[in-house]
Chains A and B, each alone.
Chain A
Amino acid sequence: MLTLIIFIALILFGVATYNNLVRKKNNVDNAFGSIDAMLKKRFDLIPNLVATVQQYAEHEKQTFATITDLRAKSYSTLKDDEKAEFDRNFTAASRKLFMVAENYPQLKASENFIQLQRTLNETEEQLSASRRTFNACVTEYNNAVMTFPTNLLAGMFGFTKKEVFSIPETERSNPQVKDLFKS
């Protein structure tokens, strides 16, 4: 009888642990989806960004050359590494834009530019919130995968540790204006 109770308890524990791991993994996927949605939102800002800059700062076309090329594609057709590259390029280019705007008073004062700046700030903050959510979900998932006794079941069913988002070294340091204007 005792053996049967222990057996049932073990089965119930196994089912609960497995379901918990699946839920946590789904949360990670869902959080990753929200990052993707924010990246797409940022991607959609490019035509407006390019149009605004072209209107007032003809010479700065080069600054956006890489992301303008990327914009020729549809976001859904981009591969994961292209999305990551776009993310990096966009962050660098938008920083340059706001620094470059200092030299173009008309650009800086234009209603379009101000609105664009607000939208970009919002998108960046939402993107940051999505990344923080993703990291929180990954941490929770990793804790479940790596701690005893759930790690036993995680190993059996192939739940592996996931990587959290980290800020690239280039973004951690304060950008040097002279470096930004090399290109």
Chain B
Amino acid sequence: METDFDSIYARLRPVLEQLEAQRRELKAKGNRTGMIVGGIVFLLGLFISGGDSTGIFVSAIIAGIIWYGCIASKSAPLCAFYKQHVISALVSQLCENASFQPEKGISEQTFRASRLFTSPDRYHSEDLISGKIDKTAFCCAEIVAEEKRITTDSKGRQQIRWIDIFRGFFFIADFQKDFQGQTVIYRNSWIKLNPRRQRVKLENPEFEKSFDTYSTDQVEARYLLSPSFMERLLELDRKFPGKITVSFLNSSVIIAIPDAKNHFETSIWQSQLRNDSVRREFFTLATLFHIVHDLNLNLRIWSKE
């Protein structure tokens, strides 16, 4: 497993140059189309408005939007190339046994089964990375889960708004101990009520300050959350700027890592040779893969191998 970014970047340089050439070509194509379509729209606007200043202004704005849209519409093939050649290469350099499938994600069923969040009305997951680090199988993907809110104003007009339930990564890894029930670790909250599960009060005051644990089985929850594992979870929590939550389900540990950024995408407006996004994606991936070591999931001294 290669973890030195500079050497990986040096190896990726030809691919990034290829990406840059493609970006310029696509941008030029979009620019040409935008100029033609935008120009026609501008002239039509001038003709319809009869040449007054407001008409010229509105036509120019519409033409500008069309020009921008024509260039932005060329982003899709560029993103596909970036994911297929750059992100895949980063993934395989960081973990030999991992594969990157941009079009796949974590199922909504798994998201709901984790019981970490309320049921979404709209769900999307992409950029699935799956593989094995030593003895631990894992997968992770980006998830956007939203809730529909309908508001009605005083005139009875309805407005639909989409509110984020969760936006970020789900990291799912095979857990080293066998268990039957479900244990869920939420953020600490004033309201400590969960009709389906019992609250598990743990001995670590710092852990209790950060999290609320609920489980279908008190003993099993403590079996999973040994004193050292609680410390490791706290350490992991400090590592991410977002507040992590954890669920133990079907012999796996599910870690929800909130992140507002849409990862593994490239922009047609910026060159990847100059900006720092490849470096940032490299460290994002390295941090995600390192969760297996952070939680010591390769320690297999119990019955489950």
Contact = CB atoms under 8 A, between A and B. Distances in A.
Given A31-B218, A136-B201, A129 B223 contact: yes
Given A125-B226, A140-B201, A130 B302 contact: no
Contacts, number: 43
Contacts of A31: 218-219
A97 to B, nearest CB: 15
Contact of A121 (B201, B202, B302): B302
Contacts of B226: 125, 128-129
The majority secondary structure among interface residues of chain B is loop
A34 B219 contact: yes
Nearest to A38: B219
Contact of A129 (B219, B301, B302, B305): B219
A16 B301 CA distance: 46
A47 to B, nearest CB: 18
A118 B226 CA distance: 16
A122 B302 contact: yes
Given A122-B177, A140-B201, A129 B222 contact: yes
Q: Which of A34, A117, A125, A130 has the most C-beta atoms of chain B within 10 angstroms of its own C-beta?
A: A125
Contacts of A96: none
A171 B59 CA distance: 83
Nearest to A135: B203
A117 B300 CA distance: 11
Interface string B207-222: 0000000000011111
The majority secondary structure among interface residues of chain A is helix
B302 A133 contact: no
Contacts of A117: 301
Contact of B219 (A115, A122, A133): A133
B154 interface: no
B222 A122 contact: no
Contacts of A128: 222, 226
Interface string A119-156: 10110011011101101100010000000000000000
Interface in B273-305: 301-303, 305
B301 A133 contact: no
A121 B302 CA distance: 6
Given A132-B203, A136-B201, A140-B201, A126 B219 contact: yes
Contacts of B303: 115, 118-119, 122
The 9 closest A-B pairs by CB, nearest first: A129-B222, A129-B223, A122-B302, A132-B222, A121-B301, A133-B219, A133-B218, A122-B303, A34-B219
Given A31-B219, A118-B305, A133-B218, 16 more contacts: A31-B218, A117-B301, A118-B301, A119-B303, A121-B302, A125-B223, A125-B302, A126-B219, A126-B223, A129-B220, A129-B221, A129-B223, A136-B201, A136-B202, A136-B203, A140-B201
